[in-house]
Each structure stands twice: as structure tokens, then as C-alpha cells.
Amino acid sequence: LHRRLLYSASMADHEHEHPTQPTESVHDHHQDGPEVATAVLNTLDAQGLRMTGPRKALVAALVDKRAAFTAEDMVQAVPEVGRATVFRTIKLLVDSGLVCRLSQVDGRPLYSLSHQGHHHHALCQRCGAVLDIYRCGIDTMLENIELSTGARVLGHRLEVFVLCANCVAAGG
């Protein structure tokens, strides 16, 4: 699960037209846990937030997750931390940009560690792995919506539901 994938397939015939626009890139979602945990805690510290026991435990637990998780997952992963604190901490991390909220097919929220510059996610429906999608390629479309309709685009969200390569190999 530590491989990193750079996507650059089959858009070559477009590149002479948009030489400065890179193609999409994708990589999966796991890095070296302790380092990430330290980075997360440093960020919290820089925001003047307290490094409490429950917060450290929660950060350690979510950094250890290799997949998107629900609030309930966290409640169970760190039973010594109260339910309310789990919710409060997740919200705090989301507001700090350290964790991002994504949504399941049925709309229920999932969370995953946030990686710089990514906007979208491909979520494995079997194992919960999250592939980040960089440069989703819809900016042009959004601009065109503005041009053709007069609407102003404020934001967008793209969720992609997949079976990751591992799960395809495991038989779906």
C-alpha cells in the first residue's frame, strides 16, 4: 500500500494544446505514520491548540488508518476517548485542513487524512482505500459553465467510487 502512482496515460494527444496543463495524477493514501502524526500535531500546536492526551491518541489512530474512516470507527479505535471528544476533534481537524470530509455513495460522511493540494478522492468500496486525484480536469468545464450560463461557480466536489487494484485482484 505504499506505492505511489503518477498518472500520465493517454492524454498525450492533448498536450500540444495545453502544454502547461498537467494531466491528472493519482496516488494512494498512505505515508509514514509517525512522521505524519508529528506533522499533524505540529500544525495543531502552531494554531495554539493544546496537545492533550485525547488529541494525541486520536491523531495517532487516524494516521495509522490506511483507509477512510467514519467517526464511529474512531470512537471504537480509541475507546478511552469520549464520544463527544472524537466528534469535536474530527471537526477541529477538518477545520484545520488536516483531515478532509468525503462522502460515501449514500451520502454518509467519511474522513481521511488530508494531503496538500488534493481536491478529490477515489474511494474503494471494498477496503476503503482512498486514492487522491490531483488535477481533476474539470476546471475547464466549470469555466465553461460560467461562460454559457452566467452562473458563478463557487465550488465543486467530485467523488469517485472504485474498487482499488488490490481489491480487483482479490476478486472484487
Q: Cα–Cα distances in Å, from 67 out to 119, 129, 131?
A: 17, 4, 9
Q: Is 142 near a copy of itself (CB under 8 A)?
A: yes
Here's the x/- map for DNA, 84-123, by CB under 7 A: it reads as xx-xxx-x----------------xx--------------
User: In this chain, which of 32, 35, 72, 139 binds DNA, going by CB under 7 A?
Assistant: 72
Nearest to 124 by CA among 32, 61, 25, 30: 30
Helix (H, G, I), strand (E, B) or coil at 21: coil
Q: Cα–Cα distances in Å, from 61 out to 53, 107, 133?
A: 12, 24, 24
Nearer to DNA, 85 or 112 (CB): 85
Q: Judged by CB under 7 A, which stretch of 68-76, 118-126, 137-145, 164-172 contacts DNA? A: 68-76
Nearest to 12 by CA among 23, 26, 27: 23
Residues within the interface to a copy of itself (CB under 8 A): 5-11, 13-14, 17, 23-24, 26, 28, 101, 103, 105, 107, 109, 122, 124-125, 131, 133, 136-138, 140-145, 147-165, 168-169, 172
